[in-house]
Structure 1
Amino acid sequence: MTVLSSPPTARVPGRRRPLAIVAALSATLLALAGCATATPSDDTTADAASAVYRIGISDPGAELDPLTVADGDAQLITGLVTEQLVSFTADGEALPRLATDWEASDDGLTWTFTLREGATFNDGDPVTADDVVATFDALIGDDSISPAKSAFTGILDSVAATDEGTVTFTLARPFSDFPRLLAGNNTGILPADYEPGTWLENPVGAGQFLLEDYEVGRSVTYVKNPDYWNADEIALDGIELKVYKDPQAIVLAFQAGEIDRITVSPEVLATVNVDDYDTLSAGYSHFYGIHLNVTEAPFDDVTIRQALAWAIDRDAIVDLVFGGTATPGNDFPVLPDYLPQPLDIEQRAQDLDKVADLLDGRTVSFTITTSFQLYGEVLQQQLNAIDGFDVQLEVLSDEQYYAEGDDSPWLNAPLTITSWGKRVPSQYYSLFYAEGAAWNAAHYANPDLGTLVTDFDATTDEAEREQLITEISQTEWTDVPTIIPALVRSEVLQNKRVMGDFIAPIDFWSGYNFAGISIASE
């Protein structure tokens, strides 16, 4: 699936299989076990008994640069070596990394970050304010092609070194959640003299591990960085990323004990004995937005949009599409592990009486366009079982769905299903609700909503923020430009040889944090 934490040209780490009954899925996958290639090579580079954590990935290709990687597997490859200023736990708690302290000015337009003394890059050079400035100048500059640029557009104006150990970020407008942006993708700090495009020749970073070997299409191996600032908390000897050709091969490799973790999905649950493994749930990672083009029939009528929102069986979406690794959404993009939370907004669930009242005898015809076949099939079947809906389905490849150009299907079809990675809630507004937003698939804009979002970003008063996030979410809930039936947790099965607790998913939000993780001796 493609998760839009970065531009929609991101390559896809895996494909979803078509909708099927769980038992049939299980039988099909087991029958294919004899012909699938489960291992990336005939030999392994990490002994199963060594203190090496092993992860299955799909091939991200050979072009890797921390400033521009968009694919999730490519981000992992660079993120294990680089280090951010700050990261976050699954509960949303900020953790100091290369920055130890930060504070905002009274007007909210200046944020000052103090850097960690003694932190060094893996070439021995100290991490200084000039390195931080150069990294962010590269991300936000006029010629930047980094996916991170969109997160800072309209928010970050400039970055300057106050002294060797202090960096000042000057904002274009107050943004109380600014530290969260520094845990976004592509924000690992690089040396000031880093030349974009050269990272694989010299994989520099200030992170937990050193890249030891990269065999394109086969594996990526790392060893512990002994000079990492928090090296005492890194108990692993290294990491191995093993490349597999498809999700089925990853399932088989996990069952064979060749990798230590696998993301939970209906396919995995249909084939793997869950009791043989530990189940990890570390916060929420993304959601799928059902975007409705509000400028064209039938979705230019708000009652049609509301009827559709009440028609969806959200519990079935959670179970059939995500294998139970999600919670029902309520049509506003606020993940449950973000604070503050909206208050007292009625939770939508399937209500066919409300659907009938809102449709008032009308029959609504439209086509679902998506690259996520399973989700599209579940939604189509649900709606076509309800009087008043006549729904077709168009499943495209990711390349077709996210095609460049003014006519790209994901931005222009009447109803699309698109995945969105974890962000600050107000960022979703600027990405897909604001007038002129680049990813506004709903073609929706509400100036009053924009004012509320601006006020929310500007205040640090918790009571005021709670009130504003409630008003923002209520507006989105009422206008229904996007339906969000499910909020997806980061849930994985893990080999019981792994000890310790991850504080968050293994992603850029957490800074790929392996502190406290070890391998049991055998």
Structure 2
Amino acid sequence: MFDRKFPTRRSFMRGTAALGLSAMAASHSAGGAFAATPNRGGTLRVAKGDGATTDTLDPATYTGSFMVATSYGVHGFLTGIRPDGDIEPQLAESWEASPDARTWRFTLRRGVTFHDGKPLTPEDVVATIQYHTMEGSKSAVKTLLEDIEKVEADNDVVEFTLSTGNADFPFTFTDYHMPILPSVDGGVDWKSGNGCGPYKLIKLEPGISAKFVRNHDDWDQNRGWFEEVELLSVADPNARTSALVSGEVHATDKLDLKTAGRMGQKPGLTVHSVEGSQHYVFAMSTNTAPFDDPNVRLALKYAIDRQELVDKILFGYGAVGNDHPIGRSQRFFNTDLEQTVYDPERAKFHLKKAGLDSVSVGLTAADAGFPGSVDAATLYQASAAKCGVEIDVTRAANDGYWSDVWMKKPFSAAWWAGRPVEDAMLTTVYASGAAWNDTFWENERFNELLVSARSELDEPKRRDMYFEMQTILNGDGGAVIPVFANFVFATDSKVQTGEQLSAHFNMDGERWMERWSFA
């Protein structure tokens, strides 16, 4: 039996938790009101601070924001996140769940076509899910989808049967790895870039640039305001800033925070600072000595001066972190957890518990890992030296960092934009066996709680479970998460954004391509 209601995100969460009811059907909006009427036309040029020669159009492998923006611009998704954090229907015009949240039925929007004219069908959705979940898949979202026991097409409806209830299931499909791809020959076509989003991909040169033109046949004519979009990969922050100041590009991300304040004072430029769940990480491989000892991990957590990084790396554009990835604005942020602070004596105490008087480790960083990560690693090195911890900092090349360093070196810098719900973040990065478990961490109690919390429909009980998971990560996990960083980017006066900018990812949730226009 299925019930129907039309809640906001907050009432949706309360309703699913208290009643086991998860039904959604709402009118689509363009992603936020504009300060003025958006205008059609023109070519938008954007410089992004990442992008690698190893990038491909395979959505299972997307990492940096260059490909995230490409994914949201070219493809269609079953559901989306509005700037205010509410979930919104996209290719799925409505959905409903059984009272135990184990069975979900998504009704597809009619009249949607891919860029080559092929109609969107439920079979495309089924094939896309199977692509991410098939045996041998290395998809970053395979763990998120592992509870799906069965997915079936029924006319214009796709029905999912889960092994356990999942109150957050519709949010799963907002992930940038989850565009709906055209089915072909028993699989999916990702190589052509054929999507059903607001823009068509004309050319992609990995690590260099991409070019898009407006999809005039888009099902939603209230988005995709530019006629063309050019996306440039520019790793050097000074080059990105110069390109914006000179008018070569209209927007850029990952500003040099040392100069962001002065940049915002320049006529014709606006610096945007959006608080979200983005966090910077020094990831330890817990399957490699000495990081396989939880006391060594704790020593390293007490050996970093978090406030110093907020002041000297973020220049105030952020807040201290507590070695778990849940942001202060999220529903189940653990308000009871003691803040880990810089404490040389406690660091030495844990080294002694590990049977060590001192320890020496290597730390690899590059600005591709997160902006300012090399400077942050050097500050870490200095503070750790007073704790009996010697850190040897290695600067890596930006190009190829995510393929050659991240999850390859035992201690490295990384960043995460966060996820709209706690389960998605924790499952993607910290669940045992997750493709992107960059600390290679396994904790039996954590994994039990993760599964239980996903299906728990009593909100207070669910809250307690997420609180405990954050406590476990803080004390045992392999991620040193010293800071949460605001999303800081800049636009020129020609660009008109919505009145509210999304905190889901950088640059308006990376959906700027569909939401922004020229003034």
1:175 to 166, 169, 189: 166
Deviation at 1:77, TM superposition (A): 2.8
Aligned twin of 2:340: 348
Q: Report the counterpart of residue 416 of structure 2 in structure 1.
A: 420
- Secondary structure of 2:110's aligned partner: coil
SS in 1 for 2:324: coil
8 Å Cα contact 1:367/1:394 also seen in 2: no
1:368 to 355, 362, 376: 362
3-state secondary structure, aligned to 2:184: coil
Measured in 2, the distance between the counterparts of 1:267 and 1:84 equals 33
- Post-superposition Cα deviations, 1:223-256, rounded to whole Å, max 9, x if no partner, equal 3323323213443333222354744432221121
Matches within 5 A, 1:158-173: 158-163=150-155, 165-173=156-164
Corresponding residue number in structure 2 for 1:85? 78
Equivalent positions of 1:112-511 (< 5 A) are 112-142=105-135, 144-152=137-145, 154-163=146-155, 165-193=156-184, 199-200=191-192, 203-212=193-202, 219-244=209-234, 246-266=236-256, 269=259, 273-276=263-266, 277-284=269-276, 286-292=278-284, 302-352=294-344, 354-355=346-347, 363-372=357-366, 373-384=374-385, 386-397=386-397, 410=407, 413=410, 415-423=411-419, 424-427=421-424, 429-430=426-427, 433-435=430-432, 442=439, 444-501=441-498, 502-504=501-503, 510=509
Secondary structure, aligned partner of 1:381: helix
AA at the equivalent of 2:450? V
Cα distance in 1 between the residues matched to 2:295 and 2:130: 46
Cα distance in 1, alignment partners of residues 59 and 120 from structure 2:
17
Provide closer, same or farther for how the CA distance between residues 476 and 232 of structure 1 changes in structure 2, counting only shifts above 3 A.
closer
* C-alpha distance after superposition, 1:23-44 (max 9, x if no partner): xxxxxxxxxxxxxxxxxxxxxx
Give, as a single letter, the amino acid of the residue that structure 1 aligns with 2:252.
I
Q: Give the whole-Å Cα distance in 2 for the aligned partners of 1:190 and 1:141.
A: 15
Q: Displacement of 1:470 after TM fit? A: 0.9
| Counterpart AA for 2:97 | A
Q: 1:85 Cα deviation (Å)?
A: 0.7
Shift in Å at residue 286 of structure 1?
3.5
Q: Does the aligned pair in 1 maintain the 2:364–2:413 contact within 8 Å?
A: yes
> How far is the alpha carbon of 1:303 from its aligned partner?
4.9
3-state SS, counterpart of residue 492 of structure 1 = strand
The amino acid across from 1:462 in the alignment is E
Distance change >3 Å, CA 184–CA 442, structure 1 → 2: closer
Contact 1:317/1:485, CA 8 A, preserved across alignment: yes
Deviation at 1:146, TM superposition (A): 4.0
Unaligned regions of 5+ residues in structure 1, if any?
1-48
- Shift, 1:221, TM fit: 3.2
- State the match for 2:37 in structure 1: none
Q: Which of residues 72, 79, 88 in structure 2 aligns to 1:95?
A: 88
Contact 1:183/1:510 (<8 A) preserved: no
Report the AA paired with residue 175 of structure 2. Answer: G
Q: Return 91-100 or 135-144, whichever deviates more.
A: 135-144
Secondary structure of 1:391's counterpart equals strand
Quickly say closer, same or farther: Cα 1:59–1:356, change in 2 above 3 A: closer
- Residue type of the partner of 1:97? Q
- CA distance in 1: counterparts of 2:115 and 2:436, whole angstroms: 38
- In structure 2, the gaps of 5 or more residues are 1-39, 367-373
Q: How many residues are treated as equivalent by the alignment?
A: 463
SS of the counterpart of 1:182?
helix
- Distance in 1, matches of 2:381 and 2:487, equals 26
Tell me if structure 1 keeps the 8 A contact 2:54–2:400.
Answer: no
Give aligned-pair identity as a percent. 26
Instruction: State the AA in 1 paired with 2:460.
Output: A
Read off the aligned partner of 1:263 and give its amino acid letter.
D
Distance 2:438 2:234 in 1: 33
Partner Cα distance (1:210, 1:510) in 2: 19
* Cα RMSD, aligned residues only: 3.7
Deviation string, structure 1 residues 82-112 (Cα, Å, up to 9, x no partner): 1101111355321211112223323332221
- Matched residue SS, 1:131: helix
SS at match of 1:170: strand
Q: Distance in 1 between matches of 2:225 and 2:406?
A: 47
Query: What amino acid sits opposite 1:142 in the alignment?
Result: E
Moved more, 504-513 or 129-138: 504-513
> Which moves more between the two structures, 461-470 or 475-484?
475-484
**Shift in Å at residue 147 of structure 1?**
3.9
Tell me by how many angstroms 1:515 deviates. Answer: 5.2
TM-score computed with the length of structure 1 as normaliser: 0.76
Matched with 2:517 is 518
Indicate the SS of the match to 2:132. Answer: helix
Distance 2:209 2:286 in 1: 46
The letter of the residue matching 1:261 is A
Q: Output the amino acid matched with 2:479.
A: T
1:157 Cα deviation from its structure 2 partner? 3.1
Relative to the length of structure 2, the TM-score reads: 0.76
Distance 2:406 2:47 in 1: 31
